[in-house]
Structure 1
Amino acid sequence: MRGDGGGSGPARPAAGWGELGKRAEYSSFPSALGQGGGCRFARRAAAGGWNGGPDRLKSPLATPGMPDAPRNRPHVRARRWRVGGPACAGRDFPDSLLDLVPPRFLRRVRGRESFEHSLDGARVIVKRFHGGEPRDWWSERARGLALRSPARVEAENLLALRARGFAVPEPLGWAEDLAARVNPWRGSGRSLLVQRYVEHERTLADGGSDAAARALGSFVGRLHAAGWCHRDLYLEHFLVTRDGLVLIDLGRARRALALARRWIVKDLAALLMSCPTDVCRRRRLRVLAAWRREQPEARRLGLRGAALARFVAAIERKARRLREHAPKQAFDRASQRVLGPESRA
């Protein structure tokens, strides 16, 4: 997806993300933004970490100390939504964005859509989700992580990566309803993410130089060295700005203490597969060389000689398989239509 929003510099999670699990009608919005909040979520957010660790928030379904919502309260819709971030300061959030019909969509396929919008004078990207990805949902359950909607997952990924100095979009707010967290299948529940728009010249899918290849390899190398894999790492997800590269679409990103080799291979194969056909193999290998320089010593030393040749061969085999696998849906911005595999043949 192109045109996503964000900032490039390191940043700590904003104070407004302190009480991530708060239901909107239980407090004034300034309180929901963490002004004066002293709860354990707020303290962890200020320290740049969630759940005693740097990257994950494992929260209960309700905020500690918060009673269940009375059944006879009139604001039924407000009670369904849990919100976080500065964008939720307006009392019409998220209702004003849920049913908005924009002039044009950046992407619109089953279960998700995104578009540009102006929010309080700021240019933003709005992502709306209906349900989520069942495989990711079950994976998080198996790992004992908290129930989270796709919008919240991406917002927390962005916060964690920005806190580590990665150039990714700046999340401004998210909202989720109960069904979006409990049921993973698309269409089962709604969630919403708002992030700041990134001013950019183009994406790497539009072409790049040898310097861009080295910058790309270094960026991905630092990402993997920090224990993160993107899982949708295509060139179109790198925006070229005046300050460098910005990585977008981090909804499927995952962090592990030790990344499995297959996840690293898939990320690098996705980059290789998305390269234009006129990009020579030497430039592609330059990306891999820059990636290798950023790896921990043990991984770097393990990729030499014959081992490095086998690693490159595994990446190229995976890239060929990815190239043969046509996505079920694609969105054509010019016609604003969803295309199936037969339409793109």
Structure 2
Amino acid sequence: MPTLGEERLEALANELERAGIVFRELSPMADTGLAHDHVWIHRGNGDWVARLPKQSQMNLAPADNLAYEAACYERASQGGHVPRLHDVLNTSDVLPRGGLLVDAVDGRLASLPQDLPRIAETLASLHRLPLPDDPAPLLAPADPWRAMCEEVERQAQWLERADLSCEATSRIRDELTALPVELPDTMRCLISFDTHPGNFLIDARGRAVLVDLEKCRYGLPGIDLAYTSLYTSTTWDLNSQAVLSLDEVVAFYRRWQASMGESPSTETLVACRRATWLWSLTWCAKWRAQHLQAKDMYQRGEDWSAELTDPAVIEHVRDRVEHYVSLPIIDRVQDELQHLGASL
């Protein structure tokens, strides 16, 4: 499914009409990601975007995944920097994974480092939201640090099947072993868990709007800060690539701290950055091992098969994965981590 076909577009139009949603035109958007197709819904009185899942990055069944994504938007939009959710298209024969209808954001891609202050404020608006009495269906582990380490370790099981160099695998294993068992403080809040700069648009009001939410959870804010500013994130998206200096990373963290008014310790923030980097590297190993598998015809959950996505996107992901697990880039990130703690 490299592009959104006419059959799927017609299915979406029929589902919108069945739901009583009036629209003028549907425009498929460029296939730039591994998890969703997107369609711009021209309505004349505030456009929407249909997010049509290709798979579940949370490894959930289609209906459960749809409910999870809906909760992500409902919770996160309360901070004012996330598109509002308007409706949910339930799973059906014509849309096996359903869809979400959210605000369309007419804006430009974030540019780094210029837009980092805006992004820091957006993250703070998310992280300041009060914890709900009932976090379900979003993940809310009692010990978010242990949960993060366990998730990284589960992905690390793919290292030996990813055909990496022996030295790269050994270096990643050493970093995994070096993660602390506990943190000195574990401030918990709503986090996106997917804040690479390509997921932000700068709207007409100058706000950084976080447009892609599907993995939210109640966890450690340092994970979002890391995910935004790590080398493996800032060089991921073709249209917003940047290599940040240590001073720029420090300024980003400090802007977030000023917007929050309170902050975890430097030790905790650096540990979260290391763990997030290792999450990215072990995800690379998993993708490297899985993407040539056949598409999951039963659409049960997570599915990284190349059949679901435009070949150009797959080639881009392959290039990034090979780059990030190379020894020079492992050296680069290790060096940054060593110096960050002394600078924050």
| Cα gap change, 1:330 to 1:234, in 2 (>3 Å) | farther
Instruction: Compute the displacement of 1:91 (Å).
Output: 4.4
2:19 alignment partner in structure 1: 93
Kindly name which structure, 1 or 2, has the bigger radius of gyration based on alpha carbons: 1
Q: 2:84 touches 2:103 (CA, 8 Å); kept in 1?
A: yes
Q: Between the two proteins, what is the percent identity of the paired residues?
A: 14
1:22-54 deviation digits (Å, cap 9, x = unpaired):
xxxxxxxxxxxxxxxxxxxxxxxxxxxxxxxxx
Q: 1:161 aligns with which of 72, 76, 79?
A: 76
Q: 2:47 aligns with which of 119, 123, 127?
A: 123
Q: 1:330 touches 1:338 (CA, 8 Å); kept in 2?
A: no
| Cα gap change, 1:108 to 1:248, in 2 (>3 Å) | closer
1:246 alignment partner in structure 2: 209
User: Using the alignment, how far apart are the partners of 2:211 and 2:42 within structure 1?
Assistant: 19
User: Using the alignment, how far apart are the partners of 2:27 and 2:89 within structure 1?
Assistant: 19
The normalised TM-score by structure 2 is: 0.51
Matched length: 219
Structure whose residues are more often helix by fraction: 2
Q: Are 1:287 and 2:252 matched, yes or no?
A: yes
Q: 1:270 touches 1:322 (CA, 8 Å); kept in 2?
A: no
Listed as ranges, the matches of 1:232-311 within 5 Å are 232-243=194-205, 244-254=207-217, 256=218, 259=219, 261=220, 264-273=221-230, 274-275=233-234, 276-295=241-260, 297=262, 300=263, 303=265, 308=266, 310-311=267-268
Aligned-partner residue type, residue 251 of structure 1: E
Listed as ranges, the matches of 1:206-245 within 5 Å are 206-209=111-114, 212-226=115-129, 227-243=189-205, 244-245=207-208
Q: Are 1:193 and 2:155 matched, yes or no?
A: no
Q: 1:114 touches 1:128 (CA, 8 Å); kept in 2?
A: yes
1:126-176 deviation digits (Å, cap 9, x = unpaired):
111256345456xxxxxxxxx9543343333323333x3422112222121
The normalised TM-score by structure 1 is: 0.51
Q: 1:107 touches 1:114 (CA, 8 Å); kept in 2?
A: no
Q: Are 1:175 and 2:89 matched, yes or no?
A: yes
Instruction: Compute the displacement of 1:286 (Å).
Output: 1.2
Root-mean-square deviation (CA, aligned residues, Å) is 4.2
Q: Which consecutive residues of structure 2, in runs of 5 or more, have no partner in the other structure?
A: 1-12, 130-188, 235-240, 292-303, 323-344
User: Using the alignment, how far apart are the partners of 1:295 and 1:136 within structure 2?
Assistant: 33
User: Using the alignment, how far apart are the partners of 2:92 and 2:16 within structure 1?
Assistant: 21
Q: 1:105 touches 1:116 (CA, 8 Å); kept in 2?
A: no
1:283-310 deviation digits (Å, cap 9, x = unpaired):
111111122234464xx3x52xxxx1x2
| Cα gap change, 1:288 to 1:117, in 2 (>3 Å) | same
Instruction: Compute the displacement of 1:120 (Å).
Output: 6.1
2:140 alignment partner in structure 1: none
Greater length-normalized contact order (CA 8 Å, ≥ 6 residues apart): 2
Q: Which consecutive residues of structure 1, in runs of 5 or more, have no partner in the other structure?
A: 1-86, 138-146, 181-186
2:36 alignment partner in structure 1: 112
Aligned-partner residue type, residue 160 of structure 1: R
SS in 2 for 1:132: coil
User: Using the alignment, how far apart are the partners of 2:18 and 2:105 within structure 1?
Assistant: 25
| Cα gap change, 1:88 to 1:282, in 2 (>3 Å) | farther
Q: 1:106 touches 1:116 (CA, 8 Å); kept in 2?
A: no
